[in-house]
Structure 1
Amino acid sequence: MLAVLTLLAVAAVAGFCLIGLAGNWEYALGLRARKIATMIVVGTAVACSSVLFQTVTGNRVLTPGVMGFDQLFVLIQTLIVFLFGALALSSADPRLLFAGQVAAMVLFAGALYRRLFGHGGRDLYVLVLAGVVFGTLFGSLSSLASRLINPNDFVVLQDSLFASFNQVDPDLLALSALLVAAAAAWTARLAPRLDVVALGRDHALNLGVHHARVVNRVLVVVAVLVSVSTALVGPVTFLGLLVASLARQLTGTFRHGTVLPAAALLAVTVLVGGQLVLERMFTMDTALSVIINFVGGVYFIALLIRESRR
């Protein structure tokens, strides 16, 4: 199955590179290669973070999005436009903006983890519920601020809130790739322990795995992956849920050494293939995240219905 998924990902990348290629090939391939690299980095980050988060929470319908990362990103963008205007957002140094967004999201996650799931060892679901509450708070503040800004600035703000792979700074892409690669390598080394953690806290402790320590480290990695991918291109809400669930169904296993690469390959295939369809069939009339969120939302409802019947 991993070989099949690899072939699908390669086919999607090849199709994106070659279909409709005209004019200056070197220039066109350079632009497309940057888009592909961005989608690979974002797809890997979203897929790994979703699988890891579902493992530590023991829930197959939760994603890191419930912790409020997407809403915090929206709030940061909205406050910049509200306080300084749309020109400040469009003319800001992308590296400074990226660093500020990543730092804010990681600090928020770190404070939340330490307070609710640190040395006190509270229930993990308290942490998730706190994330939902903060996400609602951030969303409400963003909605309030967006109603007070200039209508022209609001149009610019709305464009910045949709995930876009078209204009990514090469330096930020390289930095994001290094961070995601380091997180993926660390996760690969931890895969056997994650298999044990997936059995539950009691089983993990009986088998000699320090459950709280592993979960704390995994949550930090999840925070970094989600923060990097969101700050780089914007939120892609349902992509992680979609690829994580499909990876488990297609591979027929819960071993992270297989599920993690399968989910990453599926994410790359969905992003690259979706962008290909978007550019060739819809001529960029809509954002890729809109299509992914629609398909992922339908799949999420189907998962809820299936889980309720068990």
Structure 2
Amino acid sequence: MATRLLLPALLAYLVAAALFLTWGARGDWGFVLAFRGEKLAALTLVAAAVAISTIVFQTITANRILTPSIMGFDALYLLIQTGLVFALSGVGAVSLDPLVKFGAETALMLAAALALFSIVLRGAGDLNRMVLTGIIIGVVFRSVTGLMNRMMDPSEFTMIQSATFARFNAVDTRLLWIAALVTLAAAAALMARARELDVLSLGRDAAINLGVDHDRAAKRLLLLVSLLVSVSTALVGPVVFFGLLVSALTHRIAGTFRHDVLLPLSALLAAVILVASQTLFERVLGLQTSVSVVIEALGGIVFIYLILKRPVR
């Protein structure tokens, strides 16, 4: 079954990637392929990180309408961007070394996630408390961000607006390789725990009866999820509903609980959607809008649909 599902998805990704690299290319092919290849790598990397982290997070929380952003990653990222501009001014924030800024943002988001896990996750039923705590923390971060926005210069406020949505056209290639190494390592670690995830998907009581230390396994997996989300958010910006869109599509197509199928399939489907959408917006629509805005809107519609529809596990 894995081959039957993954092979068509892989072929679809290769077609989307080929179109992205060659459609409308003119001039020096070496330069064009190198330039577009870096963007393709960034799109694929972010798509895989968002998709895999969402599938794993939904398995741990036993809820198909949640995404890791519920823990406040996007709100913390916007707070960091706003705080930098507020404290250093727009010129000072832009002049920061990208490697230092990327590392600091990733470390802060990961540290916040670890603090949340260590304080809240202490026993049975604490996953629900963690989700509620994450929602409240996100509201607090957004309130502080809004306060700083009102206090800063309007010209500097416009700089913050660009950080509200993911930016796939302005990825620093120096950060790409670091993000790729971290993402591949975290994704490989999650793939190695695919059978453990299969057991966790049965529920806490069933997992314990089958010999899995549910609480310890959940903390380890949430750490890997947080690492994926932190790196992808620091690389391109917040991606809130895209993972929900991909996970709903993956579960619909796969029709299985096996994570050795769900994880790679979700990564391929996310990459196909993101690469094909970026190709359409760049080559056909001439970048008249941001692809992340449309994808997030579609994800929001899927979220509303899943809320109104009784979720099926």
Structure 1 residue 245 displacement after superposition = 1.3
| 1:222 and 2:231 matched | no
| 1:94 and 2:67 matched | no
Alignment of 1:143-182 (within 5 A): 143-182=146-185
- 1:167 counterpart SS class: coil
Structure 1 residue 308 displacement after superposition = 7.0
| 1:249 and 2:239 matched | no
| 1:199 and 2:163 matched | no
Contact 2:64 2:311 in 1 (8 A): no
Tell which deviates more after alignment, 187-196 or 283-292: 283-292
| Residue 210 (structure 1) aligned to one of 201, 210, 213 | 213
Unaligned runs of 5+ in 2: none
Contact 1:236 1:292 in 2 (8 A): no
| 1:235 and 2:238 matched | yes
RMSD: 1.4
Corresponding position of 2:272: 269
* Structure 1 pair 178–304 and aligned structure 2 pair: CA distance change class (3 A): same
- 1:203-255 Cα deviation digits (max 9, x unpaired): 00111111111100011001100000000000111111111111111011111
Corresponding position of 1:26: 30
Tell which deviates more after alignment, 149-158 or 98-107: 149-158
1-structure distance, mates of 2:89, 2:241? 30
| Residue 113 (structure 1) aligned to one of 112, 117, 127 | 117
1-structure distance, mates of 2:97, 2:26? 32
Query: 4+ residue runs of structure 1 moved beyond 6 angstroms?
Result: none
Kindly tell me the number of residue pairs found equivalent between the two proteins: 309
2:188 aligned partner, one-letter code: A
Alignment of 1:58-137 (within 5 A): 58-118=62-122, 120=123, 123-137=126-140
* Structure 1 pair 205–305 and aligned structure 2 pair: CA distance change class (3 A): same
Corresponding position of 1:35: 39
Same amino acid, percent of matched pairs:
44
1:265 aligned partner, one-letter code: L
2-structure distance, mates of 1:222, 1:48? 8
Unaligned runs of 5+ in 1: none
* Structure 1 pair 261–84 and aligned structure 2 pair: CA distance change class (3 A): same
| Residue 302 (structure 1) aligned to one of 278, 302, 305 | 305
- 1:61-98 Cα deviation digits (max 9, x unpaired): 00001110000000000011111111122221111110
- 1:165 counterpart SS class: coil
Tell which deviates more after alignment, 121-130 or 55-64: 121-130
Give the alignment's TM-score, normalised by structure 2.
0.96
- 2:309 counterpart SS class: helix
1:69 aligned partner, one-letter code: F
